């Protein structure tokens, strides 16, 4: 029995430690000024074909990432910017309309899965969120309703893919939400996963 006591005690001590096991998340995320919204499944786009209202309309992007509009079927749309999609629609419509001019406007969007923010664990409402430019940790917390009473807020972390490699950073949700420490607020990046563990005590 004695030989089991030390591993159990060690596990408890590690669980109680207040030291984060990951480096702190950078306050400013390196998203870059050239970030563009990409279309994804579940988005709806308004397509305007100048001088051809019968071809224009509002069209959803299906779960397979494609869309069907008047005269054009199964057009890949996911992962493209609205401008890129407009140029692709023009190419397809050129078979039926002389020199079509197309404008695409996002009516309601979630973006592709690769750019969505995911919140896991002890959030009040764990969910997937659409990334928005200059989105911060506090914006995410407002959207998910904060953390539960069982959350180990200062042991939360952000899983982020940077240059093709996964990295994990510590964030201090308890300091941010309960102590109002604005220095604990950090910028989010497209595709971030916020993991909020449960407190042992």
Q: Which residues pair with 121 in a beta bridge?
A: 196
Q: Which is nearest to 189 in space by CA: 31, 8, 16?
A: 31
The answer to whether residue 187 sits within a structural domain is yes
Report the percentage of the chain scoring pLDDT > 90: 69
Q: Are residues 127 and 176 in the same domain?
A: yes
pLDDT at 200: 79
Q: Are residues 95 and 167 in the same domain?
A: no
- Domain boundary pick from 56, 74, 108: 108
Q: CATH number of the domain that 92 lies in?
A: 3.30.1950.10
pLDDT at 24: 82
Q: Are residues 186 and 158 in the same domain?
A: yes
Report the percentage of the chain scoring pLDDT > 70: 87
- The model carries a pTM of 0.75
The answer to whether residue 62 sits within a structural domain is yes
Q: Are residues 101 and 127 in the same domain?
A: no
Q: CATH number of the domain that 201 lies in?
A: 3.10.560.10
* 8-state DSSP, 26: P
pLDDT at 101: 96
pLDDT at 4: 43
Question: Does pLDDT of 17 surpass 60?
Answer: no
pLDDT at 15: 44
The answer to whether residue 188 sits within a structural domain is yes
pLDDT at 161: 87
Find the domain containing 157 and state its range: 116-201
The answer to whether residue 86 sits within a structural domain is yes
Q: State the average pLDDT over residues 162-190.
A: 91
Domain total for the chain?
2
Q: Are residues 101 and 120 in the same domain?
A: no
pLDDT at 109: 76
pLDDT at 12: 42
Q: Are residues 187 and 134 in the same domain?
A: yes
Q: Are residues 88 and 156 in the same domain?
A: no
pLDDT at 33: 56
Question: Does pLDDT of 1 surpass 70?
Answer: no
Q: Are residues 133 and 178 in the same domain?
A: yes
Q: Are residues 138 and 74 in the same domain?
A: no
Q: Are residues 67 and 143 in the same domain?
A: no
Separation between Cα atoms, residue 153 and residue 171, nearest integer Å: 8
pLDDT at 11: 41
Q: What is the pLDDT of residues 97-154, one digit of tens each?
A: 999 999 999 987 788 888 899 999 999 999 999 998 889 999 999 999 999 999 999 9
Q: Which residues contact 78 (CB under 8 A, 6 or more apart)?
A: 38, 39, 40, 41, 61, 65, 66, 112
Separation between Cα atoms, residue 47 and residue 83, nearest integer Å: 11
Q: Are residues 151 and 135 in the same domain?
A: yes
The answer to whether residue 6 sits within a structural domain is no
Question: Does pLDDT of 32 surpass 60?
Answer: no
Q: Are residues 130 and 54 in the same domain?
A: no
- Count of other CB atoms within 10 angstroms of residue 34: 5
Question: Does pLDDT of 178 surpass 50?
Answer: yes
């Amino acid at each position: 029995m004695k030989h089991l006591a030390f591993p159990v005690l060690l596990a408890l001590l590690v669980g109680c430690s207040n030291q984060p096991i990951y480096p702190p998340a950078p306050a400013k995320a390196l998203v870059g000024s050239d970030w563009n919204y990409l279309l994804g499944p579940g988005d709806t786009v308004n397509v305007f074909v100048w001088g051809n209202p019968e071809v224009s309309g509002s069209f959803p992007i299906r779960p397979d990432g494609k869309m069907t509009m008047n005269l054009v079927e199964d057009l890949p749309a996911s992962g493209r910017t609205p401008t890129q999609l407009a140029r692709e629609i023009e190419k397809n419509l050129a078979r039926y309309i002389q020199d079509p001019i197309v404008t695409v406007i996002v009516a309601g969007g979630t973006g592709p899965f690769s750019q969505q923010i995911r919140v896991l664990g002890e959030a009040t409402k764990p969910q997937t969120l659409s990334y928005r430019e200059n989105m911060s940790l506090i914006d995410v917390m407002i959207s998910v309703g904060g953390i539960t009473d069982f959350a180990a807020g200062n042991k939360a972390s952000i899983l982020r893919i940077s240059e093709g490699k996964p990295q994990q950073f510590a964030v201090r949700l308890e300091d941010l939400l309960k102590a109002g420490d604005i220095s604990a607020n950090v910028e989010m990046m497209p595709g971030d996963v916020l993991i909020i563990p449960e407190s042992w005590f």
